[in-house]
Amino acid sequence: MVFGRSSRRTPPVEPVTLKILVAGGFGVGKTTLVGAVSEIRPLRTEETLSEAGRPVDDIEGVEHKTTTTVAMDFGRITLRQDLVLYLFGTPGQDRFWFLWDELAQGALGAVVLADTRRLEDSFAAIDYFERRGIPFTVAVNCFEGAGRFPGDAVRAALDLDAEVPLLMTDAREREAVKEVLVAVVEHALARADRQREHATT
C-alpha cells in the first residue's frame, strides 16, 4: 500500500503479433495497400523499371507504372491493443518468386490482391497459397476505369473455394484495407478452429 492506495497496477497487455502476406500480380497495388494502412513508415524495396526488364515485365494495363518491388514491402498495423499485424508485400514478377518461400514462413494468412483488367495474374498467387495450405482472402482492387463485376462472377473466374472470402476494396483507403486485413485474420482463425475440431473427432 502507498498512501492508503494499492500500488498494484494492471500489467500492460502483451500484444499478439501476426504475419500477413500481401500478394498478387505485377502492378496490382500491393505497395500502395501496405503504405495506406501502415502505422510506421513502410519499408520499400522498389527499383525503377528499366529497358532491360521490358521483355520480362508485362506492363499491359499498367503502362503508367515506373517502379517495381524487388524484395518486399513491410508495414505494421495495430488492429487492437492486443493484436498487431506485420505486413509483408511480395514481389509480383515471376523472377523474384524465389523470395516467396522465405516470406511465407510463419505467416498466419495472406491477401491476394486482384485487378479485373489482369485477373489471370492472380492465379499463380492463389495456387501458391492453396498448395501450401495458407489461408487467404482475395481483395479486388477497384481501379478507376476497370470493369466492375459481381463478386460471384469474379469468384467463378478465379475458381475460388466457397470458404475463401472475396472483397472489393480500394488499396489507397486505410479503412477499406483494414476491412480486408480483418477478413484475413477471421478467416485464418476460423479455419484453424475447424482443423482443431476435426483433429479431436
Q: Which residue has the cell 500492460?
A: 12
pLDDT at residue 25 tops 60 = yes
pLDDT at residue 56 tops 60 = no
The pLDDT confidence band at residue 64, using thresholds 50, 70 and 90, is: low
Q: What is the SS3 assignment for 117-130?
A: HHHHHHHHHHHHHH
C-alpha cell at 35: 503504405
- Residue-range domain boundaries for the chain: 16-200
Q: How many CB atoms lie within 10 A of CB 81?
A: 9
156 Cβ partners below 8 Å, 6+ apart? none
Quick one: what percent of the chain has pLDDT higher than 90? 59
pLDDT of residue 49: 44
The pLDDT confidence band at residue 148, using thresholds 50, 70 and 90, is: confident
The pLDDT confidence band at residue 58, using thresholds 50, 70 and 90, is: low
pLDDT of residue 60: 55
* Helix (H/G/I), strand (E/B), else coil: 181: helix
pLDDT of residue 97: 65
Q: Which residue has the cell 463478386?
A: 151
Element (H, E) at 83: strand 83-89
170 Cβ partners below 8 Å, 6+ apart? 141, 142, 176
The full length of the chain comes to 201
Pairwise pLDDT comparison (49 vs 13), residue with the higher score? 13
pLDDT at residue 186 tops 90 = yes
| pLDDT, the chain, mean | 84
> Please, what is the end-to-end C-alpha distance for the chain in angstroms?
51
Alpha helices in the chain (DSSP H): 30-37, 100-104, 123-132, 151-158, 174-200
pLDDT at residue 146 tops 80 = no
> From CA 181, how far away is CA 44, in angstroms rounded?
20
Kindly report, residue by residue over 73-132, the tens digit of the pLDDT: 899 999 889 999 999 998 866 656 678 888 899 999 999 999 999 999 999 999 999 999
Structural contact between residues 74 and 80, judged by C-beta atoms closer than 8 angstroms: no
The pLDDT confidence band at residue 48, using thresholds 50, 70 and 90, is: low
CATH fit for domain 16-200, picks 2.30.30.700, 3.40.50.720, 3.40.190.10, 3.40.50.300 = 3.40.50.300
DSSP string for 21-56: EEEESTTSSHHHHHHHH-SSPPEEEEEE--GGGTTT
Element (H, E) at 88: strand 83-89
